[in-house]
Structure 1
Amino acid sequence: MTAAQLSLDVRRAGHTVLAGAGGATGALRFRTGGTWQHATRLTRWTFGNGVLALTAATTAPGATVEARVTPAADRYRLEWQVKGAAADRLGLAYALASAGHWYGHGEAQTPTGGPATDQPWPLDSGQVVHPGFSPASYYMIDPFWYTSDATGLRVDTGHVMDVAINQQDDGLGRFDVESAEPYRATVFVESTPLEVYRDYVGIVGKPAKSDATDAQYADPVWNSWAQFYTHVDQAKLLSYARALHDHGVRGHTLQLDDKWESDYGNMTFDAKAYPDPAAMSRTIHSLGFDFGLWVTLWINLDSDQYRYAADHGYLLKDAAGTARPCTVTWWNGTAGIIDLANPDARAWYVGRLHHLMSTYGIDGLKFDTRFFDDRCAPHPGYKPTDYQRLGAELADGFDLQGVGIRVHWDTTAHRAGFVTRQVDKGTGWNSLRASVTQNLAISTIGYPFVTTDMIGGSSGQPAPSKQVLVRWAQSAALQPLMYASTSPVDTVDVTTGKKVTYDRETVDLYRAAIARHERLAPYIRDQVRQTLRTGDPIMRPLFFDFPKDPAGYTVTDEWLLGPAVLAAPQLTPGGSRTVHLPQGTWYDVVHGTTLHGPRTLTGYGTPLGTTPVFVRRGAPGADKALRALR
């Protein structure tokens, strides 16, 4: 702690491992009258009953900061507030370099296209500018960050935050809460980043189960979105299913995504596009797939169900005037949102889902959109964060078929054990790379059952090239689950409307990736069981297992799948790459040789059919992994 300008710094073994921002930014900062101010000179302190109480002057005339610090062996709890001024935002700011590299956060908004095409890893290697960091966000995020120096920050809030990490290369991390309520946070101090992660999981909880089944860990789910977007109908979907089946491209489920309803919220098939949905379902089942359907809680104003839901009070109310329903604009129009905190609304919605599923032989659902919006008012007695819990409880009653769901921030989301899918990616190399670093970010904020966005990407961009599609499949094969859409047989370029046909090699290499993942499934399921015991992520950065290896903290294109498998697929154009091996004895699956780390392999050859993968001799599960990968 410094007294000239109040800053709660962390020192370990005589070295600073986390320091507050100095200068005009200030470590404890607040906004009043539209201007940012900060704590300055320490004016009073007391220590009693294990609590350090502090009072500091500020740059705002007449205003003081009052803070309470409760220390423990591996963390301290911080609570502070402003007195003598009306503050509408409170924040902490840190000098990033004081703590080494920064990680966590989840899906990050960046000036260069994140999270769709950019996910810096570490976070400080790029810029994160995320002003709507909220429990109602569509992004998979949690207010938790950790560092290579084994410190961490968890902000305990249900309010919207404004998070900026290295914005305009300023070297600062700013974590501001849009509220005048006291700022509450936990700062962790540990020996390794993995131990910081474990401390955090000790607060938010580890998964109580895995939502995915054994079959869903073994084979991919096929979803129609990137293959057709909204230009889909019964004939196209069945042709898609038959082509996958006839070319031996395996999958456990075929899901019909967006644009099957007559209007959004009706929960009835568009009769022109789907003349016989029951027969469509039977055909999909006869091809060996389960059948799934995309659904949302958002009911468009032009839906014939909107008026019924509004008249019965089933929709969230407007935060600006609770006498009327809240309306939100989304990618498919303007809608109201079912209020899951209203038991009658929930029962009505769930009843319609069950009727739809039983009528047409639908096995599971892909829930999309959000369960709350910051423009809406929560049901009386509820908070915005409660809707993450309510959404998780709703989804837990259905088979999500391995595509998972996007709930976060609330402890129920951590404990439910859902598969987590990423936000839509583009179809280029940058999105493939972002899919890897983003899963590392999501895995290490407490959501271990990760899958990438659809293999090959989506986001309304030109169809992926053969090389991107194959490399993405090879990468996904070495992750916990595979989530597929673009067929390796052929697809449609949404930007031109023209058919794109891939060659036989594309199909063969894609099938080989699926086969590799299927063989790895017993090993992966062992990791799932280990995660249920410990909460540790399955897909994780090298430094979680090798914290003393400095090179591992900036590796962006490798990961560990459990303790025994190191994946280093090709994520860029070209036919070679550099591979870093941490300490240990590693079996090179491609060449059948044994290597000793730490070492860096340069110019490792990666023709299109080759994916570098290594097995750590002596690690738990190594023998099972070797049998699968050889």
Structure 2
Amino acid sequence: MTDILEIIKNPDRVELILSRENGKKVYLRIASSKANVWRLQSADVKEEFDNLGAVQLLKEEFNEPSNENILPLDIKEKSDTSFQIESAVNSTSIQINLSPFHILFLDKTGKTKCTIDDISFDEASITISGSLKNNEFTYGLGERFNGANQRGKSAHIWSEDRWCQTEGNSYVPIPFVLSTEGYALFMNRYEYSFFDLGENTPDRWSITLKDAPLDLYVFIEDSPKEILRDYAELSGFSPMPPEWSFGIFVSRHGRLREFATIEGIREMARKMEENDLPWTTVIIEGWNTYDTSTYEDLKKIVDELHKKGKKVLVYERCGRLDKEYWETHKAKEDFFVKDSSGNTLIKEAPLYNPVDAPDRRLSCFLDLTNPETLDWWQNYVWKRLLVDIGLDGAKIDFGEEFPEDENLKLFSGRSIKGMHHYHAVKYGTMMYNLYQKMRPEGGICWARGGGIGAQRYPYLWCGDQLREFRFLKAILSAILSSGVSGIPFMCHDLAGYMPARDKERNIEEEVFIRGTELACFTVNMETHGTVTRPYDFSPEIIDIYRLYSKIHYALIPYLIEQARISSDTGIPLVRHLYLEFPEDEKVRGIEDEYMLGDGLLVAPVLEDSNKRDIYLPSGEWNDLWNEKIFKGPYEFSKYTAPLERIPIFIYSDTRSEVLDKVVENIRSILKS
């Protein structure tokens, strides 16, 4: 533990002067800018605190008000070795004990919710830590494929494409943890950090931050929903997606080249119509987005599909423009990140996809710190695509690849540290805003990769999974963990995008249907990859897929209603049961059920089985299939769920104004 040399008490902040092991001083500031939200910052030089953390940087970048005003504090002595910090607008408080050192975060009743009892520094990192209770669950850390509850685990906050993995990787890591004890921790930096939530020492949490000053927010609230709202107010609410984007997307892997021509796209549309399979949007992965020689054909197929009421997205790689297209797009070298030798072809971030590209590939990255780059990219390159051709947005891939090598130079002169995450977030936010500006019915990003603020795009997708049952669990885990990390709209490739490795244990028809059922009851549905296309299965499987496609479209009024709530509050559309029933200890460890909005409990079958156990929390629940009423808490042992059926229960206490009609329509579809 670092020694405390001095305490400075000011009307709106408290500063602790600490001594490092090397004898150098470090300054720790504690302040509050919103009721029940506390901010801890460090600096190596007195009064030189970096107030531009991740969320402040984003708001400055996009000319948004900060909504942060440092609140006046009331500092009370409790003893010679402790004092309490309160605020007139805060119902929470902080108690600082000097010997032994503790920072206690108290709720309005004076109960300790969170404790920090150790802060240590070395030349390149800061570690802050505290205690965990025996029955405490800690959710979040962004998109996680190994569970929404991260208690007993550790995680690197560093976006990576490890291709079809479920451990140790995340395309969208968020340094945010939500505890069942009524608090949340948020490290407000884009630089690399490491969270240990009881893996090394079961009753201890710790956060290590590298190459940046400490900037930790602590939220203390009565409910998890209030914490998520506080976090959204700080980091940005997710915009409401266009209504058409809640439908069904059709995509194929680019290497197949199926959507690289007008004929290939027309063939898909014809097959979908022949089989009476509804869809809204096509992602034409495989079409060379920046090859201007294709633009005449691109315009032709976009106009053709628009006349049929469809939408069209192209595929691109987070702004990478290959040099062969520079001349036709009037690109300049200064538009791109350079190394110390002036080269614009630079190595992508380490730990890229070890299957497809084990070595660091070379790419040209847009320099998003150069205003001229931003103007050219938006008002020349993409204006042609959005206005002249009429595209409705893009699938933006590989947001995890921006490097932080020390030899890289940015136009603005800012440090390269933190750009690995910030580049993807700034690019995605910029492009989403551009789509709204240039498309009359709104446009969307279908994006992979990012960090703090990624909810601003607002659609992210879960990346790459195999068509196996275990990856259905991983997909749901990613959706739930993202939701409790401030990302309300997480999409995915329905049932995975690559064939199973173990085909005997993962019969494709069965995984496909169980994946279809799961996707039906999420924000939207998207088929993608090199796997079997929906219309190429047997007639029986096509019939089930058609049924759930139509159910999904019947759900859309409810999805739109609930998505508006998500956009206004930060509460995810697909919700961990804990968010709706925080007092029910039984739901805390359940990660194979969820609430879709506040009115539907969904219990997907995620393994090779036609039965599953189901828990219904307190309240009245109506079975979608047989209309039976159950009083919760209620537990089913081996609820029967044949391949064509996903267990769904309607919650009587829903506040939805449209759900009754939606359920009526779904039941009509089921009977037809």
Q: What is the TM-score normalised by the length of structure 2?
A: 0.73
Contact 2:489 2:573 (C-alpha < 8 Å) held by counterparts: yes
Give the structure 2 partner of residue 303 of structure 1.
324
Among candidates 182, 188, 199, match of residue 230 of structure 2:
199
Among candidates 522, 526, 531, match of residue 557 of structure 2:
522
Among candidates 401, 404, 429, match of residue 374 of structure 1:
404
1:301 offset after TM fit, Å?
5.8
Q: Would the alpha carbon gap of residues 138 and 210 (structure 1) be closer, same or farther in structure 2, given more than 3 Å must change?
A: same
Among candidates 454, 469, 486, match of residue 493 of structure 2:
454
Q: Would the alpha carbon gap of residues 324 and 51 (structure 1) be closer, same or farther in structure 2, given more than 3 Å must change?
A: same
Give the structure 2 partner of residue 365 of structure 1.
394
Q: How many residues align?
A: 554
1:164 offset after TM fit, Å?
3.9
Q: Structure 1 CA distance, aligned partners of 2:623 and 2:598?
A: 15
Q: Aligned letter for 2:268?
A: Y
Asked if residue 293 in structure 1 is aligned to residue 314 in structure 2, the reply is: yes
Q: Give 1:49-198 correspondences, 5 Å limit.
A: 49=11, 51-56=13-18, 60-63=21-24, 66-70=27-31, 74-81=36-43, 87-97=123-133, 100-108=136-144, 118-124=145-151, 127-130=153-156, 132=158, 139-167=171-199, 172-179=204-211, 181-198=212-229
Contact 2:260 2:284 (C-alpha < 8 Å) held by counterparts: no
Q: Would the alpha carbon gap of residues 65 and 312 (structure 1) be closer, same or farther in structure 2, given more than 3 Å must change?
A: closer
Contact 1:568 1:612 (C-alpha < 8 Å) held by counterparts: yes
Give the structure 2 partner of residue 431 of structure 1.
471
Asked if residue 327 in structure 1 is aligned to residue 363 in structure 2, the reply is: no
Q: Aligned letter for 1:189?
A: I
Deviations, residues 358-393 of structure 1 (Å, cap 9, x unaligned): 676644322223395423433316573376335412
Q: Structure 2 CA distance, aligned partners of 1:469 and 1:568?
A: 17
Q: Would the alpha carbon gap of residues 308 and 290 (structure 1) be closer, same or farther in structure 2, given more than 3 Å must change?
A: closer
Give the structure 2 partner of residue 253 of structure 1.
281
Give the structure 2 partner of residue 544 of structure 1.
579
Deviations, residues 69-109 of structure 1 (Å, cap 9, x unaligned): 3368634321235699861111223444467111121123x
Q: Structure 2 CA distance, aligned partners of 1:616 and 1:556?
A: 19
Give the structure 2 partner of residue 36 of structure 1.
none
Q: Would the alpha carbon gap of residues 626 and 85 (structure 1) be closer, same or farther in structure 2, given more than 3 Å must change?
A: closer
Give the structure 1 partner of residue 91 of structure 2.
none
State the superposition RMSD in angstroms.
3.6
Q: What SS does the aligned partner of 2:174 have? A: strand
Among candidates 405, 417, 431, match of residue 447 of structure 2:
405
Contact 1:152 1:188 (C-alpha < 8 Å) held by counterparts: yes
Asked if residue 483 in structure 1 is aligned to residue 508 in structure 2, the reply is: no
Q: Aligned letter for 1:317?
A: K
Q: Structure 2 CA distance, aligned partners of 1:456 and 1:612?
A: 18
Deviations, residues 279-303 of structure 1 (Å, cap 9, x unaligned): 6556655766333211235546663
Give the structure 2 partner of residue 353 of structure 1.
382
Contact 2:431 2:445 (C-alpha < 8 Å) held by counterparts: no
Q: Structure 1 CA distance, aligned partners of 2:154 and 2:328?
A: 41
Contact 2:121 2:127 (C-alpha < 8 Å) held by counterparts: no
1:314 offset after TM fit, Å?
1.4
Q: Structure 1 CA distance, aligned partners of 2:493 and 2:639?
A: 27
Q: Aligned letter for 1:249?
A: L
More strand by share: 1
Q: What SS does the aligned partner of 1:324 have? A: coil
Q: What SS does the aligned partner of 2:470 have? A: helix
Q: Would the alpha carbon gap of residues 266 and 488 (structure 1) be closer, same or farther in structure 2, given more than 3 Å must change?
A: closer
1:210 offset after TM fit, Å?
1.3
Asked if residue 337 in structure 1 is aligned to residue 368 in structure 2, the reply is: no
Q: Would the alpha carbon gap of residues 276 and 386 (structure 1) be closer, same or farther in structure 2, given more than 3 Å must change?
A: closer
Give the structure 2 partner of residue 567 of structure 1.
602
Q: Would the alpha carbon gap of residues 210 and 44 (structure 1) be closer, same or farther in structure 2, given more than 3 Å must change?
A: same
Give the structure 2 partner of residue 222 of structure 1.
250
Which runs of 5 or more structure 2 residues have no equivalent in the other structure?
A: 46-119, 161-168, 668-672
Q: What SS does the aligned partner of 1:69 have? A: strand
Contact 2:333 2:344 (C-alpha < 8 Å) held by counterparts: no
Q: Structure 1 CA distance, aligned partners of 2:298 and 2:227?
A: 50
Contact 1:579 1:601 (C-alpha < 8 Å) held by counterparts: yes
Give the structure 2 partner of residue 9 of structure 1.
none
Which runs of 5 or more structure 1 residues have no equivalent in the other structure?
A: 1-38, 109-117, 492-499
Deviations, residues 516-568 of structure 1 (Å, cap 9, x unaligned): 11111111111122233333222111111111100111111111111111111
Q: Structure 2 CA distance, aligned partners of 1:297 and 1:615?
A: 40
Q: What SS does the aligned partner of 1:618 have? A: coil
Q: Give 1:23-62 correspondences, 5 Å limit.
A: 39-40=1-2, 42=4, 44-45=6-7, 47-49=9-11, 51-56=13-18, 60-62=21-23
